[in-house]
Structure 1
Amino acid sequence: MNAPATIVVGYVPTPEGLAAVEYAVGEAQRDNARLIIVNSGVRGYDSDPAFATATDLDALGSRLDGLGIEHEIRQSTQAFSPAEEILQAATDVGADLIVIGLRRRSPVGKLFLGSSSQQIILDAACPVVAVKRPE
């Protein structure tokens, strides 16, 4: 019997981050997969707005428990970028899929996905799904 799939999802407490989690939850339910939620501030700064509060993470964990989804929530305070944290988590758990959220960009910003998104897409050893927030 094969082990269940493992999905790593980058989470930030924004509409884009929540859209990524929602997509990953749907995939986990469909495939009976395990979720690894990764949250970090920029270079580990816990004052960064991307760094989720304990309340946010507890609510997310409770929701996943209620849905019966096997999960782990990782929140690093190390001096690594969010992309490095997500890629390292994916390597650590042998991820089958990475899910990230994308922000809306200006025409100039569209030339680049964003340094974290671009690094994850280019360096991941597994497929990556980039999710836009709902309008």
Structure 2
Amino acid sequence: MSTIVVGYVVTAEGDAAWNWAVEHARLTGSRIVAVASSSPDPDVSSEAVVSQLEEALTTAGVDGEVVHFIGTSGAPDSILDNAQRHDADLIVIGQRRRSPVGKIMLGSTSQRVLLEADCPVVAVKAPR
């Protein structure tokens, strides 16, 4: 069974990456490992985010697990470490829309994952 690692943060881009990964997993019979970061909303606990994603996997009928990114190593390290640990076939990340000047440089998380991943990476934009 192939494995998809998806980086998730509570944003429109995170939701777009999550939805793409879940649909792809359903179509291919892949397993998901979601690397969830804390919500920017202080009223939403990390446990609530993890619980919501676990429930979404069950509802979609997709095998997988949700790991909560905690620590000082950074989101890119957590995504890349989980991809290596789970022998991922694919990584899915959300990508913000950028201005022409912003397009010169990707965000640090996206850039590190794209440059350092040992497997293909899909960068998904949120719908407009």
Question: If the length of structure 1 is used for normalisation, what is the TM-score?
Answer: 0.87
Provide the residue aligned with 2:11 in structure 1: 14
How far, CA to CA, are the matches of 1:63 and 1:120 in structure 2? 25
State the number of aligned residues: 126
Amino acid at match of 1:69: V
Provide the residue aligned with 2:123 in structure 1: 130
Matches of residues 39-118 of structure 1 in structure 2 within 5 Å? 39-40=36-37, 49=40, 53-118=46-111
C-alpha distance 128-49 of structure 1, shift in aligned 2 (>3 A): same
How far, CA to CA, are the matches of 2:105 and 2:56 in structure 1? 34
Q: CA RMSD in A?
A: 1.7
Question: 5+ unaligned residues in a row in structure 1: which ranges?
Answer: 42-47
SS of alignment partner, residue 73 of structure 2: coil
Question: 5+ unaligned residues in a row in structure 2: which ranges?
Answer: none
Question: If the length of structure 2 is used for normalisation, what is the TM-score?
Answer: 0.91
- Percent of aligned pairs sharing the same letter: 44
